[in-house]
Structure 1
Amino acid sequence: MPSSQVTIGAWANEFGQLISTRALKPKTLSDRFTHIAHLVRLLGGPDRPLTTLRPVDVAKAIRSVWDSGREHLALRLHIEADDFFNEAIIAGHAGINPVTHLKRPRPKVRRSRLTLDQLLAIRRRCLKRGRQWLVDAIDIALVTGLRIGDVVKLRTNHIVEGYLLVSQQKTGVRQAIPLDLKLEVARITLRKVVERCASGKVGNALLVCKNNGRPYHKNYLTSAFSAERDSTLPASTWGDDRRPATFHEIRSLSERLYRDQGQDTKSLLGHKRQSTTDLYNDDRDIEGATFRVVPIPGQRRAPSHIKAQFGCSAQSPA
């Protein structure tokens, strides 16, 4: 073990300065500072020597957060602690990383997916209430698979030579999405959507904006969508252990529909890894659980899987 007597608090300050030099967005950096401060409190306070920490200490800290019902925070703290101790080893302040010995928490995803029928019902209500701007945002998100933060930043001058030019805010990925892109099952084309949104606008006007041309904040748009969702669909739609689908779930719906259509959804969503795109493809059994068909030798044209609403909660016999 190193002879360093640096305290958790002193190393937290040094570690904070270190991550500040990384190419992180302000929101990400702010969240990480919050996580670091949380870790300092959970691990015994700023005056505790860093070298006294053992795997059991970190395990208890993260477990306390998990048991309080904040499962995703427990995961974030696990990831933060791993980086925290790895950098402490490099700096000569620690000899082991106690997080290495711990299993990563696996929170259960409770947010429901959307079906196309549900989204169209919400869309019809928005139209009925005269909220065309929200309809425009829904249509853009559905036909492009873009995140809400990118939808609210699209402008008329992003339409160039038959393409919609997008620089994704979260990843920095730059895309030129053809205006001929069409989501067959929803009978919607990108060209018609952007032409409708751009109609009557000049210069670099926002495609989705207030009457005075000012932007909608993505949080306001999310809240407006959730309000229309709750007015359209009963709470029982989502089940007892699920949270209602949010605007962001349009991105997953878009991916699933386009994949069924044969579209390269990894390129459409701007992911670097197929495994990331596959997370969006998981429908979380909203359209029924998936069952693998047991093949019978010699039988042809049998499906490989079927979907069905089927209760599987009964306990197995001992």
Structure 2
Amino acid sequence: MFRKITLKNIENLLAFLTLFTDTEAQLYNIETEPLTLDPYCYSKEFNKFITSVYQENFVIDFDWPAWQNEAERLVANPELLIVADILTLQKLLTTHIRKERFCSGHLAAMIKNGHFLAIFHRLQAIHAALMLEKSDNHGKRNMMKQMSVFQGDITQLPVDAIVNAAKNSLLGGGGVDGAIHRAAGPELLDECRQLHGCATGEAKITQGYKLKAKWVIHTVGPVWRGGNQGEDEMLARCYRNSLTLAEQYQIKTIAFPAISTGVYGFPLERASKIAIAEVNKFLNSHHSIEQVIFVCFSQSAYDCYIKGVQEVVES
């Protein structure tokens, strides 16, 4: 049975977000002595979170056996939560914390693999959207729908295109570049060889092959050299040229990594502001692309992009 969720319910549950973002937090221990059927011992703070899930109407009655396959699909592919609605989150939280369905070791697994954190990230996005609904600002609501932030694996996103932060050779490398090549399969490298490289700030496109995305747009970000060598403009061109190429190929949904912020050393906050500004400018002047997702690997990057998107939307 569906239970109505209010802004206050969401805010009260989001108060526990730091439990899952604090890398030092010890949410459970495994007691090996004495021997017991349930060796998992959870912290007082985590048990307060479980109590809050019940108190804030996130535990509901529904046909769980009929939904079990969907639950398993979402656990295996947390990137799908980026479009989950409140009812789906209620079902997931109910699935995870009902003790008659799993031993308590299941909760530990959901903490360790980041699934609870993925649920919280989606709750944050829903909360922001509801706040805009409350403000009755149509333009801001549209912008929130068009720009979103996701923490996770870009290779698993079900979008039309993902952007690869590539090297000039386009022949693969480390970081997100290597991850995309591994996920797409050797055919991607074969096609990249035919492109004969890519200049910094430019973009080229290939098929996605084994990826969930149909297309991969390869762009080469600048190496940070102190900020006085035209790095800002080069990075901005990466986003402009990628979006222009996406429009030419009638791509509706596209995901960007945090270009140049890894081994290329571009300061994260500076890079995120450039990325968000360029995407915002493009979306305001073009209407072909429906959604742009900024994909972050680390919690610090996620927090930085969330803050940046909210600042642009509220300005």
TM-score class normalised by the smaller sequence: under 0.3
Which structure is larger by alpha-carbon Rg, 1 or 2? 1
